[in-house]
Chains A and B, each alone.
Chain A
Amino acid sequence: MNILVIEDEKKVALAIKKGLEFEHYEVELALTGEEGFFRLSLRPFDLVILDLMLPGRDGTEILRTLRKKDKGTPVLILTAKDALEDKILGLDLGADDYLVKPFAFPELTARIRALLRRGRGDQALKLGLADLEMDLVKRTVLRARQVIPLTAKEFELLEYLLRNSGHVVTRDMLARDVWKEMLRATPLDNVIDVHIGRLRRKVDDPFPPKLLHTVRGVGFVLSETAP
């Protein structure tokens, strides 16, 4: 998977490159709009990460030009401007998703996974990790073949963790995707922590090994090995 990152802040660009390479993506960097333009003309990419605020050639200009000849390549916009109009402008011009700076890295990788997965039928009816099984049709959860009763919210939370198993999910991601919270300022962190605690008591406490881990300062991950 080839990803082009067009981002003028060098530190951010290098951090993204390193983080994505750790996730086994091939990453090319463009530190200016012109360079991004040039690299886009050389070869196709599976995905483009584009900063909207660039010196020289503006991100929207690159996006507009790219969309003229290539409609398929997913584009993920990074923007420091947390203004609704910018987002709408970006999506109008043909971006596929956006992320507002500062963003959590697990969120970036989750978005990339979602964009790369898109278009491929992902209609799993069952999810699972180790001896944890989830049936999305019957809406049941089994751990070590024992039925675990979950509330609707806990089920949704576990489903989200399972879909991202092996990857860290942040509280922001949970607030937006599980609690459908649009505004970052809504104080849901404590609510999320309580739900994670309950889920852990039901799913993990009676059954070794532990699957639901807390990554301090980042979020939570569902995996067989501790991070």
Chain B
Amino acid sequence: MRLRPSSVRVRLTLWYTVILAGIVLALFLAVFFFVKTSLIRQLDREVESEFLAVSQSLAEEPNELSEFEADGAGRAFQVIEGNDVLFETPAFRQSGLRVADPARPTAARTVKSRAGARFRLKTGPAGPDLALTVAVTEEPVRRVLRTLLIIFMLALPVGLVLAALGGSIMAGRLLRPIDVMAARAEKISAESLSSRLPVEDPRDEFGRMANVINRMLSRLEEGFERLRRFTADASHELRTPLTVVQSVGEVALQENLDAAAYRDRIGSMLEDVARLSRLVDSLLTLTRADAGALALGRKEIDAAQLVAQAVEDMQPLAEEKRQDLNLSAEGPVPVQADEATLRLALVNLLDNAIKYTPAAGTIAVKLRIRDAETLIEVTDNGPGIPVEHAGRIFDRFYRVDQSRTGQAGGAGLGLAIAKWAVEANGGRIELENREAGGSTFRLVLPHIL
């Protein structure tokens, strides 16, 4: 165990020690006062019996008082008649006790002598005109209590130091998993995101924390992986048109062509520049969507109208492929959305459906309300999405048919953009493969509150 002072550990130990000291102190006080009271009570019984014995001998043999004087037992009492001291033992005299009002009877009480010694005193009537005061020294009681205090004063610091040490060791041992986790986490960087924190006991707090951090690391790793793939894909996609531009330009420079032919070459280059530009626009839309920087003007719009407009706009494309693009929507269906981005989502879905549904196929667009949600469904009777692709179909640059790149397949950003666009409007996108073949893409928008 390293003795590196960690603040949590010090704090834990400190708290532990202070609380322990408080409990021990309280306990000691309780014991101390209990012992004190019971000892005093015992002393009082002694005083009573002494009083009884002396007053009895006073009543029976008043002249034998002097015997007491000779008594070596050191009994201390005083007999008063009126205001004069009739008799007192030598012990009483030596003690230097002075009774304030010797004639007034009292219960047993503690009185301090002039010399500072404490006595237990009882005064009471002992015959006609006689008042008796009996004194018993408290010294033995005091001695016991003093010893008790000394033991406590010696034991407390030692006990506390031991307790603090033990507490510190225990806290250190308890907190060690954190040190281990911290040391391990220190080594995890963007390059080694695959390593995980050790989990000693998945049920305790530290285990749970390690698991939480590990899950976070998994998500980070996934994110990094996506980013890395995205960057690689993006550069690949950008490189293709760039290569075309470069090679067409270089070849044209070497050739001796007439103006019309050069114009044609430049046009060819511009076509690819347009492709690049389009791609950069899409990427920009997605990256800014990631940063959450796209200001959306969400307001209440009629989904029926928006769907009808998008279908009408895309109808010519379907007609070119002799596809039946039909719409069933009854409006108005109010939704809370940014018109441009929602349209972006839908047009991308339609574009995708028309592109991948064979000629003369059918594409049905349906607007309906289910529970508290507005659904825009685009169903085609094309080949459907193979199950192994379904999970990644909304990934950027993902194509079911990897060979279909370029003009025919697009850059593989359409569905990613559609997904973002509907999510930016507080909705989500769903894909449903139908058993009869074909697939349904569904834009789900929350109902207006």
Residue A70 at the B interface, CB < 8 A?
no
Majority DSSP secondary structure for residues of A touching B: loop
Which of A83, A171, A186: most chain B CB closer than 10 A? Answer: A186
Docked Cα-Cα span, A194 to B317, in Å, equals 7
Docked Cα-Cα span, A82 to B295, in Å, equals 12
Minimum Cβ distance to chain B for residue A195 (Å): 6
Which A173-227 residues sit within 8 Å CB-CB of chain B?
179, 181-191, 194-195, 198, 215-218
Q: Which residues of B contact A56 (CB under 8 A)?
A: none
Kindly report which residue of chain A lies nearest to residue B345, judged by CB atoms. Answer: A186
Residue A137 at the B interface, CB < 8 A?
no
Contact in complex: B267, A183 (CB < 8 Å)? no
With A189-B278, A215-B267 known as contacts, the answer to whether A82 contacts B313 (CB < 8 A) is: no
Contact in complex: B313, A191 (CB < 8 Å)? yes
Residue A102 at the B interface, CB < 8 A?
yes
Contact in complex: A191, B278 (CB < 8 Å)? no
With A190-B351, A191-B317, A194-B316 known as contacts, the answer to whether A216 contacts B344 (CB < 8 A) is: no
Contact in complex: A217, B273 (CB < 8 Å)? yes
Contact in complex: B266, A187 (CB < 8 Å)? no
Contact in complex: A217, B266 (CB < 8 Å)? yes
Residue A84 at the B interface, CB < 8 A?
yes
Docked Cα-Cα span, A185 to B287, in Å, equals 12
Q: Which residues of A contact B357 (CB under 8 A)?
A: none
Residue B410 at the A interface, CB < 8 A?
yes
The tally of residues in B whose CB lies under 8 Å from a CB in A reads 36
Q: Which residues of A contact B348 (CB under 8 A)?
A: 186-187
Contact in complex: A185, B282 (CB < 8 Å)? yes
Contact with B along A47-84 (1 / 0, CB 8 A): 00000000000000000000000000000000000111
Q: Which residues of B contact A186 (CB under 8 A)?
A: 343-344, 347-348
Minimum Cβ distance to chain B for residue A139 (Å): 18
Contact with A along B328-354 (1 / 0, CB 8 A): 000000000000110110011001000
Contact in complex: B274, A217 (CB < 8 Å)? yes
Minimum Cβ distance to chain B for residue A179 (Å): 6
Contact in complex: A182, B267 (CB < 8 Å)? no
Majority DSSP secondary structure for residues of B touching A: helix
Minimum Cβ distance to chain B for residue A85 (Å): 8
Interface size class of A (residues with CB under 8 A): 20 to 34
Minimum Cβ distance to chain A for residue B262 (Å): 12
Kindly report which residue of chain B lies nearest to residue A226, judged by CB atoms. Answer: B260
Contact in complex: B347, A188 (CB < 8 Å)? yes
With A84-B295, A185-B281 known as contacts, the answer to whether A217 contacts B270 (CB < 8 A) is: yes
Residue B139 at the A interface, CB < 8 A?
no
Contact in complex: A182, B340 (CB < 8 Å)? yes
Contact in complex: B341, A187 (CB < 8 Å)? no
A216's partner among B264, B285, B295, B320 (CB-CB below 8 A) is B264
Residue B417 at the A interface, CB < 8 A?
yes
Residue B271 at the A interface, CB < 8 A?
yes
Contact in complex: B270, A187 (CB < 8 Å)? no
Contact with A along B261-284 (1 / 0, CB 8 A): 001101111111110011001101
Minimum Cβ distance to chain A for residue B278 (Å): 7
With A183-B344, A187-B347, A198-B316 known as contacts, the answer to whether A217 contacts B277 (CB < 8 A) is: no
Q: Which residues of A contact B343 (CB under 8 A)?
A: 181, 183, 186
Contact in complex: A183, B285 (CB < 8 Å)? yes
Minimum Cβ distance to chain B for residue A59 (Å): 21
Residue B436 at the A interface, CB < 8 A?
no
B351's partner among A181, A187, A198 (CB-CB below 8 A) is A187
Contact in complex: B344, A82 (CB < 8 Å)? no
With A183-B340, A188-B347, A190-B351 known as contacts, the answer to whether A218 contacts B278 (CB < 8 A) is: no
Kindly report which residue of chain B lies nearest to residue A179, judged by CB atoms. Answer: B313
Residue B414 at the A interface, CB < 8 A?
yes
Q: Which residues of A contact B19 (CB under 8 A)?
A: none
Contact in complex: B277, A102 (CB < 8 Å)? yes
With A83-B293, A102-B277, A191-B314 known as contacts, the answer to whether A185 contacts B270 (CB < 8 A) is: no
With A102-B277, A179-B313, A194-B320 known as contacts, the answer to whether A216 contacts B340 (CB < 8 A) is: no
Enumerate 29 A-B pairs (CB-CB under 8 Å) in ascending A order.
Answer: A82-B284, A85-B295, A102-B277, A179-B313, A182-B340, A183-B285, A183-B341, A183-B343, A184-B281, A185-B285, A185-B417, A187-B348, A187-B351, A187-B410, A187-B414, A188-B313, A190-B317, A190-B351, A194-B320, A195-B316, A216-B268, A216-B271, A217-B266, A217-B268, A217-B269, A217-B270, A217-B272, A218-B267, A218-B270
Q: Beyond A191-B317, A217-B274, A218-B267, list 17 extra A-B contacts (CB 8 Å).
A: A84-B295, A85-B295, A171-B274, A181-B343, A183-B285, A183-B343, A185-B284, A187-B348, A187-B351, A187-B410, A189-B278, A191-B313, A215-B267, A216-B263, A216-B264, A216-B270, A217-B271
* Residue ranges of B at the interface with A (Cβ–Cβ < 8 Å): 263-264, 266-274, 277-278, 281-282, 284-285, 288, 293, 295, 313-314, 316-317, 319-320, 340-341, 343-344, 347-348, 351, 410, 414, 417
List the 6 closest A-B pairs by CB distance, nearest first: A217-B270, A216-B267, A217-B267, A194-B316, A182-B340, A217-B271
